Amino acid sequence: MSPQVLIDCQVATMIPQPENPLGMIRDAAIVWQGEQLHWVGRRCDLPPQWTNAQLHEAAGAWVTPGLIDCHTHLVWGGSRSQEFRLRLNGASYEEIARAGGGIISTVRATRAASDSELQEAALKRLDSLLAEGVTTVEIKSGYGLEAETEAKCLRVARNLAKVREVSICTTFLGAHALAPEFVNQPDAYIDTVLSMLSELYNEGLVDAVDVFCERIGFSLAQTERVFKAARNLNLPIKLHAEQLSDSHGAALAARYGALSCDHLEWLNEESARAMSQAGTVAVLLPGAYYFLRETRVPPVDLLRAQGIPIALSTDCNPGSSPCNSLLLMLSMGCTLFRLTPEEALTGVTRHAARALGCIDRGILQTGARSDLALWDIDHPSDLCYVFGQHTCRGTLYGGAWRATSTLKV
């Protein structure tokens, strides 16, 4: 594959510099060969060895790293629109879950769905993300709660990367809710989770492990059992933590060196300190906050004071965030959580990469993956400012223009 050069573009490298937190370069050039970036800088500094490389003109587009959606539950069957109605009439998310609806109703529909039904539904969601310049997506299991369906969902997730140009990271979330076969026996269910984990790991279906640690999810002790098993397999961990209450999950996750703790509306100061020391990323999910009509915002000032990297994600799922738009999360992250546009953009690139343990993406520099998104905007912060607009002009995935989004100039 011969070297390629993109010119007539402006770049947000996402490598912060003093007075330039997005690492912006005007009138830039980007050189890549295959899946790797070879050079990023001002066009006037382009080394002569690249001046004869194959040229692509971007007609003034802004270029960012391909976006990264680092927390989704993209593969599920059925719909929860009926539950949405109940909530609009006053029922709470927790009440519905306790009455056997919520996650468990999606589990029933997901168990009943075929591989191809699941794939077809997931592809529609994925295609919306891809049209917005997303090039890496994390997908959690957790709507099977038994070995066969957990495996089915993770295989569907893996397969998405074969039928679309996208990187998929899979996370095993067997401890998402108590399986209906184990009512009043959560510890026995955790035994099953541990055996599922080793089976799915042996099948090569698991990149990371997650738990829903919450009063309607799993206790600290149960969460720790899953973390220990993950550690024995050398798998990184993540945690749904302090979404509906302060369950002290984030501090536990930090002790296990978690890649990320996600949600965090109820995070306390001590747990934040533990996250900071462990280098754990805080993944904020404004879609769930919005859709559940929560009123408690995550403690963004505390995260800043502790120097905790902040990521943003859709949490795409049928119950608390039926949303396929990462760009909308940029807007909501700023408007609802008071993130700065720079923080929000870093949250869907550099910090999202870190939340997945992917060090080769989320920034534009020599050696990084050649995943680029091109935008029809005047300034990167426009990606946070406008909402509901299609501004992605094209995407380069692993060095090739993505078929679904050829450059429109």
**Cβ neighbours of residue 113 under 8 Å, at least 6 residues apart?**
77, 78, 121
Contact 407, 393 (CB under 8 A): yes
Interaction between residue 240 and ligand DI6 (CB under 6 A)? yes
Interaction between residue 106 and ligand DI6 (CB under 6 A)? yes
Tell the smallest beta-carbon distance from residue 279 to Fe ion (Å): 21
Pairing of β 310-312 and β 372-375: unpaired
Please report, for residues 76, 166, 168, 374, the alpha-carbon distance to residue 157 in angstroms, rounded to integers and kept in the order given.
10, 11, 7, 26
Binder among 101, 319, 341, 362 for ligand DI6 (CB under 6 A): 319
Binder among 38, 176, 225, 248 for ligand DI6 (CB under 6 A): 176
In 3D space, the residue among 69, 127, 68, 84 whose CA is nearest the CA of residue 320 turns out to be 84
Tell the smallest beta-carbon distance from residue 319 to ligand DI6 (Å): 2
238/351 with CB nearer Fe ion:
238
Q: What are the b/e assignments for 245-256, b being 16+ CB within 10 Å?
A: eebbbbbbbbeb
Binder among 30, 61, 103, 258 for ligand DI6 (CB under 6 A): 103
CA distance 334 to 287: 12
| 25's tokens | 């370069």
Binder among 65, 77, 102, 333 for ligand DI6 (CB under 6 A): 102
| 91's tokens | 């029922």
Q: Which does 354 bind (CB under 5 to 8 A by kind): ligand DI6, Fe ion, none?
A: none
Question: Tell me, what DSSP letter sits at residue 66?
Answer: P
Q: Which does 252 bind (CB under 5 to 8 A by kind): ligand DI6, Fe ion, none?
A: none
Binder among 318, 322, 394, 399 for ligand DI6 (CB under 6 A): 318
Site string for ligand DI6, 348-387 (x = CB under 6 A): ----------------------------------------
Interaction between residue 242 and ligand DI6 (CB under 6 A)? no
Per-state percent for the chain, helix, strand, coil, to nearest 5: 40, 25, 40
141/243 with CB nearer ligand DI6:
243
Interaction between residue 317 and ligand DI6 (CB under 6 A)? yes
Coil, strand or helix at 147: helix
In 3D space, the residue among 299, 261, 298 whose CA is nearest the CA of residue 280 turns out to be 261
Binder among 212, 218, 227, 256 for ligand DI6 (CB under 6 A): 212
The interface region with ligand DI6, picked from 39-47, 315-323, 327-335, 336-344 by CB under 6 A, is: 315-323
| 165's tokens | 């140009």
Tell the smallest beta-carbon distance from residue 314 to Fe ion (Å): 9
83/315 with CB nearer Fe ion:
315
Q: What values do phi and psi take at 213, rounded to 5?
A: -95, 110
The interface region with ligand DI6, picked from 101-109, 127-135, 346-354, 374-382 by CB under 6 A, is: 101-109
Contact 359, 353 (CB under 8 A): yes
CA distance 107 to 141: 11
Interaction between residue 243 and ligand DI6 (CB under 6 A)? yes
CA distance 397 to 35: 8
Interaction between residue 320 and ligand DI6 (CB under 6 A)? yes
214/224 with CB nearer ligand DI6:
214
CA distance 286 to 282: 12
The CB-nearest residue to ligand DI6 is 319
Chain residues that interact with ligand DI6, rule: CB under 6 A: 102-103, 106, 176, 212, 240, 243, 288, 315, 317-320
